[in-house]
Structure 1
Amino acid sequence: MGRRRTETPGRPRQRARRAGAASAAPAALLVAGAGVDEAAGAGLGLIFVLTAAAAAALAAALCPRGRTWWALAAPPLAIAVVAVGAQLAAGAGRSGGSTVMAVVHWALDTFPAMAAAEVTAAVVLAGRALRPGRGRRACHA
């Protein structure tokens, strides 16, 4: 039988901390952007778009190499959840309008943020993939 590879005792904890930071920091940034925009009173706008792009860039920069597809798949879902939560917290659903109009308004508010986040994450991941010297040994011949 082959030898079983064991990890040092501290490794799983370090990975868990890094994974928590990779998801908590962008999420906090996204929630803060939605909160600031909703507090300004005009709904989700430019601040939310900018913080969504920054959160996607941060998530793409912090994600492990084997899980980079999450950095492209997660931003629209995270933005949708935060946007719905922000609009429910702000009372946008209680304005007396129809549900269809609320959904249309929500979609118009969040599409620019989703597009900016996707483009930013793709650019960061492309930069990570194309960065020279990454994962290669130096040749000292």
Structure 2
Amino acid sequence: MTVLLLVAVAILWGATNPFIRKGSVGIENIKCDSKIQQTIQEFIFLLTRWQYLLPFILNQSGSVLFVYALTVTELSLAVPVTNSLTFIITAFVSKVLGEEPFTKNGVIGMLFVVAGTILCSISTYNSK
């Protein structure tokens, strides 16, 4: 059950990262004289774009779920599983959106990440 919870967190984080990136396109065009005004204008820009807000809210719901997951699972399992799977899910969603192609080395790296995640999970459950 706890591994499924961690996978859900990884999906919420990983799947939303590329959409947050796409939703913030154009923020680099905002130019102001003062740093404070620049920050305010960028903040307003992001708050008025549903393409940014929707994935951001989903991403943050993953953070709430992660905090809950930390109360029911071991930290030594929660952090590596969620972070590694988030990376892989982000790569897959980015590929689906046409952002980044897979490379041979990238796929090999993802396989190592999956293998490491499985080993962490097995190790944690065997120690109980």
Give the shorter-chain TM-score range: 0.3 to 0.5
Structure number, greater radius of gyration: 1
**Structure that is richer in helix per residue:** 2
